Structure 1
């Protein structure tokens, strides 16, 4: 999702399972007693960063929340009459929160 590319956000990932994570030097997240804490910077691909962490830590399912702001965000609004998404871009947007879930679809995580 290119829509979340320019977000500075702090994500907390609450793992549903009890995992023993091993920290790697290049990671931008850390294991906490209740899940993970991830800090992303402007220009980071949010979805890609979450997917990489999920794969590395072998997290089977989880929910996540985040806060931050974006310089440019594109969302697709669904038009029920035309049965398609219509993208709309917003500039310099404050985001109060970001929430979602993580599951696996065959061999890849699904955010």
Structure 2
């Protein structure tokens, strides 16, 4: 046979005990502290995301600048190779600086841009 047991509760267990003012104040301070910490961590996270986005943009701009400088360097190397050739150097000097050989005449015609 099974016995039935009765659960006896004391008055303290049944009665709701009001929270004291000290406990309420501690809970309020704790909640405020946690709320402040949450806000601070959220703000820090947003700042980190902005910094990361700015750094990625700077990296992309620097990569573009590097590509432009590499293209310019290739052009300058090509010009250097051409100027090492004596025939091209003479052609370049005659065209840009109007250098002539003895007994040679140079005619300079005005360009279409200057006429306008």
TM normalised by structure 1 equals 0.16
Decide which structure has greater strand share: 1
Give the structure with the larger helix fraction.
Answer: 2
Structure number with the bigger relative contact order (C-alpha 8 A, sep ≥ 6) is 1
User: Larger C-alpha radius of gyration, 1 or 2?
Assistant: 2
